[in-house]
Structure 1
Amino acid sequence: MKQKHRILTIALASGLAAAPALAEGPLTLEGGALSSASKMGTVADPVVEAPPMAPVPTMVDWTGGYAGVALGVGRASWDDGSSSDVLGNLFAGYMFDMGDYVIGADLNYAPASVFGDFSTASEELRAAWGLVGRAGVKLGAEGRTLASVGVGPSWVRTRDAGGDGNTAVGVTAGVGVDYMIDDNWMLRSGLSYSRFGSVGANDISVNSVAAHVGAAFRF
């Protein structure tokens, strides 16, 4: 009877000793011998790859010179009359890219004999030109659109009924939007207002407004 108790005790002890091993995982055959899954190592979770990040757009650089031509319509008015016509101008300038902002200056020249015919009661417009400082902000993910404001001195050359030429000094202010097509070409549009306090021999005051669109080559 004691012998049976000893055998039962040994069997229970062996079962308890094997229990942790069985709890660790199912038995597998390895090298002809049984081993638990814990001996082989746990199964790793599947690797989940993060979706590729979208490339960050590269901001364009507006630094550089340019020259082009613009066409539009304009209207000049004075105390006792006004004159309207199709007009155009040649322009050239240089811009400095400051990151999110751009500064620069434009030189504009409009020979009336080619791009329009404006005249008052006593003066005929012969040519106009101006030097306009500009400051703008980039728009869009790549900064290809530039919205700007500008102001600067302007001059107008007139000829009176007797054939004498006169030059008047004024000021021009405007707003515009440029768009960079690529490194070599850009489009331009804008509105401008000019004021001349004393034009011609009769010292008449002339105001003018103009709208234009154009294109320029960048270099």
Structure 2
Amino acid sequence: MAAPPALADDASGPANLGMTAGNSTQADIATRGLGGGGVMPDWSGIYGGASLGAGRASWSRSSSTSAIGNLFAVYLADMGDYVVGADATFAPAAVFGSFSTANEELRAAWAIYGRFGVKVDAEGRTLASVGFGPSWVRTRDDAGDTRTSAGVSAGLGLDYLLDESWLLRSGVTYSRFGSVGARGDRVNSVSAHVGAAFRF
């Protein structure tokens, strides 16, 4: 009678195939940095939201501190390990905050940023980013005259993608204006904020 075929060392047997497939899948997930067996989220999209925080504006001769709020719109494009995009922000100081000196007040500020971010966690839900771009500020003096001045702004941010629809945002922004208001004062401002945005 013929001896039965040996199966113990057969690496191509069904049991070993299943083990190999399982190990391959786990290794693939670890390589791609996926969490919880899910798919890495895609940041691409258009977001709109609001944030609250505090800021300080410094003129040539004085400074002012106030709570402040921002409305913002964001476009992001997910490139894999990094994300690029653009932000547009508007801070209506007359509603959300008030920065003023003895005879002049900042009434509103807005900016457009180019943004570059890197995913900093294994699941791809946390994004550290930098932004830079032009900004503008509007002032009003005691006589009621308003002026708009241009400058530049830069920011550091840390965002978290809560789910497919909501983004949590935090950051610090620095702005510099070379000539503001009737006296042409130099104005520097720094603010910190936290907020949320909805993806449309």
1:134 is matched with 115
Q: Deviations over 1:37-89 (max 9, x none)?
A: xx333654287643733372232211110000000010011221110011111
Q: Higher Cα Rg: structure 1 or 2?
A: 1
Q: Quick one: percent identity of the two aligned structures?
A: 60
Q: Spell out, residue by residue over 1:81-122, the C-alpha distance to the aligned partner (whole angstroms, 9 max, x if none).
A: 110011111000211111211111111001112110101232
Structure 1 segment 120-199 matched on structure 2, within 5 A: 120-199=101-180
Higher relative contact order (CA 8 A, sep 6+): 2
Distance in structure 1 (CA, Å) of the matches to 2:75 and 2:188: 27
Normalising by the residue count of structure 2, what TM-score does the alignment of the two structures yield?
A: 0.85
In the alignment, the residues of structure 2 paired with residue 134 and residue 65 of structure 1 have an alpha-carbon distance, to the nearest angstrom, of 14
CA-to-partner distance for each residue in 1:2-26, whole Å, 9 max, x for gaps?
xxxxxxxxxxxxxxxxxxxxxxxxx
2:73 to 58, 68, 92: 92
Q: Aligned AA for 2:168?
A: L
1:45 aligned onto 2:8: yes
CA distance in 1: counterparts of 2:8 and 2:199, whole angstroms: 57
Answer yes or no: is 1:107 the counterpart of 2:88.
Answer: yes
SS at match of 1:59: coil
AA at the equivalent of 1:67: G
Cα distance change, pair 42–90 in 1 and its aligned pair in 2 (3 A): closer
Whole-Å separation in 2 of the counterparts to 1:142 and 1:40? 53
Q: Give the direction of change, closer, same or farther, for the CA distance of 1:178–1:45 in structure 2 (3 Å limit).
A: same
- Structure 1 runs of 4+ aligned residues shifted over 4 Å read 46-49
Q: Which runs of 5+ in 2 are unaligned?
A: none
Using the alignment, how far apart are the partners of 1:204 and 1:43 within structure 2?
90
Q: Which structure 2 residues correspond to residues 58-73 of structure 1 after superposition, within 5 A?
A: 58-73=39-54
Alignment of 1:193-212 (within 5 A): 193-212=174-193
Name stretches of at least 5 consecutive residues in structure 1 with no aligned partner. 1-34
* Counterpart residue identity of residue 74, structure 2: G
Please tell me the residue identity of whatever aligns with 1:179.
Y
After superposing the two structures, state which structure 1 stretch, 50-59 or 157-166, moved more: 50-59
Residues 45 and 71 of structure 1: CA distance in aligned 2, closer, same or farther (over 3 Å): same
